[in-house]
Amino acid sequence: MARVKHAVSNLRRHKRMIKKAKGAWGKRSKIFRRAKETVNRGMVFATRDRKARKGDFRRLWITRIHAACGEQGIRYNQFMAGLKAADVRLDRKILADLAVTDPAAFQQIVEVAKQLSEKPAAA
């Protein structure tokens, strides 16, 4: 059986990895072994930060809703409890957008939440 050499496939694989490491400093963008380490490490950071971004945005939305609720004279937790009791199914992203772009619509939603958050729970 003929001997198989991997020069072409290895070169292609190396070039692909070095292309991904473009922009790294020094040998990290030129030497395959260093480029591989850099790219793999970058992938770990990218995955971690994609997950973290979701939490960052949720915190931003909650802060915006909280500030808008303060202007309307209701606390954030009362507002969210009132929405849940009223079965209003708007997520925090939409609520935060309404609070920033359309304060009148947000005030109507706050009124709905206030009505249900003030009523005592049936025993």
**Domains assigned to the chain:** 11-118 (1.10.1900.20)
Residues 59-93 have pLDDT tens digits of 999 999 999 999 999 999 999 999 999 888 999 99
The model's pTM: 0.74
Mean pLDDT per 10-residue section of the chain, whose length is 123 residues: 89 94 93 95 96 96 95 92 90 95 94 79 53
DSSP labels, 73-100 = T--HHHHHHHHHHTT----HHHHHHHHH
Distances (CA, A) of 17 to 27, 44, 49, 81: 13, 15, 21, 51
- Give the CB-side neighbour count of residue 62, counting CA atoms within 13 A: 9
